[in-house]
A and B are shown apart, each in its own frame.
Chain A
Amino acid sequence: SQTIHQWPATLVQPVGSPLSLECTVEGTSNPNLYWYRQAAGRGLQLLFYSVGIGQISSEVPQNLSASRPQDRQFILSSKKLLLSDSGFYLCAWSEAGHTEAFFGQGTRLTVV
């Protein structure tokens, strides 16, 4: 069966520090991968998606970037965090062909 792992679960970082959140999927090949952010009082906002290794599409211009160094690994990064980067970050995957989407347990990021 397929599983998705996301870490860390919580993170407190100072303004200006770098960020690296990692997501891996097991039990499938060539999945579509997604990073979403959920801010308080707002819906989930798609940040990045990837349909293959090295293929990254950005939905919202901002202080973040994403990379897909391996087929089932998706990384969300920032060189310098802003206070506005605080939120709940969720990684998701689905098989190519737009089937059911599955989410990780999320990372609660607090920038102080």
Chain B
Amino acid sequence: KQEVTQIPAALSVPEGENLVLNCSFTDSAIYNLQWFRQDPGKGLTSLLLIQSSQREQTSGRLNASLDKSSGRSTLYIAASQPGDSATYLCAVRLGGSQGNLIFGKGTKLSVKP
């Protein structure tokens, strides 16, 4: 059974710092991996999608990497800003006809001005 773990559960950093969020999964047979952002009481906003054949994806100050063989992904945020404060969720999509997303519990990030 696929399990997704995100460490740390919470992180507080000063503004301007570069940071890394970690995601690990137990079964390397994934179709893709997606990082989301969730603001309090809101839905999920897709940040980056990495296909299983890819190693990394970049969007602005965000860079996500994928090492499928070791079951790991990282989300790198450069020059963090208070507006980056949110919960970041990692999800792996299973293969097969259903292709369900399996989520980690998230990392709650607080960027202090």
Contact = CB atoms under 8 A, between A and B. Distances in A.
Is chain A's binding surface mostly helix, strand, loop or mixed? Answer: strand
A98 B106 contact: no
Given A49-B98, A98-B93, A105 B105 contact: no
Contacts, number: 57
B24 interface: no
Interface residues of A, number: 25
B97 A59 contact: no
Interface residues of B, number: 25
Contacts of A49: 98, 100
B43 A101 contact: no
A98 B105 contact: no
Given A57-B98, A98-B31, A98-B99, A103 B105 contact: no
Interface in B81-103: 89, 91, 93, 95, 97-101, 103
A64 interface: no
A81 interface: no
A90 B43 contact: yes
Interface of A: 6, 32, 34, 41-44, 46, 49, 51, 57, 59, 90, 92, 94, 98-106, 108
Per CB-CB distance, the 8 closest pairs between chain A and chain B, nearest first, are A98-B99, A103-B44, A105-B43, A44-B103, A43-B105, A103-B43, A43-B103, A100-B49
15 contacts: A43-B89, A43-B105, A44-B89, A46-B101, A90-B43, A90-B44, A98-B32, A99-B49, A100-B46, A101-B91, A103-B43, A103-B45, A104-B43, A106-B41, A106-B43
